[in-house]
Amino acid sequence: HTTSDSQAHALSTKPWWLRLSWSSLPIQLFLVSIVTFGLLAPLACHRLLYSYFYLRQWHLDRMSQEFLQQNLEEGQAALRYFEELRATNGSAFWTGPPVPRPWLVITIITVDRQPGFHYVLQVASRFHRLLRRCGPRCRGYRLMLCNVERDPDRHRDAKLLANFFPSASRFEEAGEGSPDAPPVNQFEKEKQDYAYCLEKSLQNYDPEHVLLVEDDAIPDEQIFPVLHHLLGVRFSESQLGDTLYLKLYHPERLQHYINPEPMRILEWFGVGMFLGPLLSWVYVRLTGRPGLSWPIVLFFAVFSMGLVELVGRHYLLELRRLAPALYNVMPVTECCTPAMLFSAPSAHRVLSYLAELRCRGGFAKDTALYSLLRVKGERAFVVEPNLVKHVGMYSSLRSNFHPTLL
């Protein structure tokens, strides 16, 4: 008794952290956190471009060069695609019974860019393949090219595509390239180019919808099935008319949960509420504990929320590509306009709104469009994950001699 009492007394006088055993709950959860966030996740994710674990000092320059090389090869392949199509007198578009009013006009806005990459040919060839594959279901689709290069003859890729697709050229029209026209900054020119192409799409086709795509935004393989679902099932005609635009791209680096967008915060909590109980059940089964408890569930909810944020929300969104119905529609965020969908009524409103605005440095067309939501009381949405891939590392607005992926 004396020995056991002395041992018990010795144990009771030890600090609490020395009395913990390997089987105690705090120790096990601490070890799970250390192994996951300190070892497994960094090892698994250090090459993931949009993860917090990404080691840019190790990988960014190499990955950027590999991306540029791949993009260069894809540009050459797109050039060969259209040259072979021209040599065989192939039809550039699936032609079926004429439709009185196209359901969708896809307008590619293009300027002469970095030579060799043939950005606009990559975009046009992908759309061409997808439309051919879509067949009769896309009978009401039309593809149009909008050349906004100040010297249209200089844009050789646009001249090549004019052999296959209907095209409009802003600076070939009377008055557009007049020497007496007042000079505008590059940001205002880009806005005017955008408005011109949107207006020409409406004038030439009177479509139900217009998809404006910039010439460095390559469509995803599932873009048409997803658009069919969104416009035919998810949105009613009145909802589309009340929506100023539907954005099909948002930069992957800006898709994290920690941002000012309240809807993403709600989604983040939803991830914790789903994965927390699931991981808790797995933990209880593996450790042989009697059952779930609130501390365990709460720990794994926070654990899973931290893990998906650090690994990257972008990679979680990619799971939604399994089916068109899984794509998410969220309130729109400000940046970028590689691919924007407008209904005919909303396109007319956008044209009238843009005519009232003047763009400048710090207030480009994407910021101008986003500002309309507050000023005019409009609403807009973004589709997740992205339906186009932005491949243009060489900007048409800013000089960039050493582009990188981030």
- 339-343 vs 243-247, strand pairing mode: antiparallel
- Per-residue pLDDT reduced to its tens digit, 272-294: 999 999 999 999 999 888 888 99
Place of tokens 């949009």: 50
Tell me the two tokens of residue 310.
């650090």
- Write down the pLDDT at residue 309: 96
Contact predicate 123/216, CB 8 Å: yes
Contacts of 393 (CB under 8 A, 6+ apart): 64, 67, 68, 71, 400, 403, 404, 405
CA-to-CA distance for 370 and 398, rounded, in angstroms? 21
Tell me the two tokens of residue 141.
């689709």
Q: Report which secondary-structure segment, H or E, holds 291.
A: none
| Residue type, position 165, single letter | F
- Per-residue pLDDT reduced to its tens digit, 186-217: 999 999 999 999 999 999 999 999 999 999 99
- Write down the pLDDT at residue 337: 93
- Per-residue pLDDT reduced to its tens digit, 9-53: 544 555 555 555 667 888 999 999 999 999 999 999 999 999 999
DSSP per residue, 321-344 = GG-GGG-EEEE--SS--SEEEEEH
- Per-residue pLDDT reduced to its tens digit, 332-385: 988 899 999 999 999 999 999 999 999 998 999 999 999 999 999 999 999 999
Average pLDDT, the chain: 88
pLDDT band at 175 (very low <50, low <70, confident <90, very high): low
CA-to-CA distance for 77 and 73, rounded, in angstroms? 6
Contacts of 261 (CB under 8 A, 6+ apart): 330, 331, 333
pLDDT band at 100 (very low <50, low <70, confident <90, very high): confident
| E strand map for 182-284 | 209-214, 217-219, 243-247
User: Which of 16-30, 164-178, 232-246, 312-326 holds the top average pLDDT?
Assistant: 312-326
Place of tokens 């209907």: 166
Length of the chain equals 406
CA-to-CA distance for 296 and 284, rounded, in angstroms? 9
- Write down the pLDDT at residue 78: 95
Output the CA–CA distances (angstroms, integers) from residue 156 to 79, 107, 327, in the order listed: 11, 18, 37
Q: What are phi and psi of 23, to 5 degrees?
A: -90, -5
| Residue type, position 43, single letter | L
Contacts of 264 (CB under 8 A, 6+ apart): 257, 313, 330
Contact predicate 142/248, CB 8 Å: no
Q: What is the mean pLDDT of residues 101-127?
A: 93
CA-to-CA distance for 295 and 301, rounded, in angstroms? 10
Cα dihedral sign, 83-200-247-149: positive
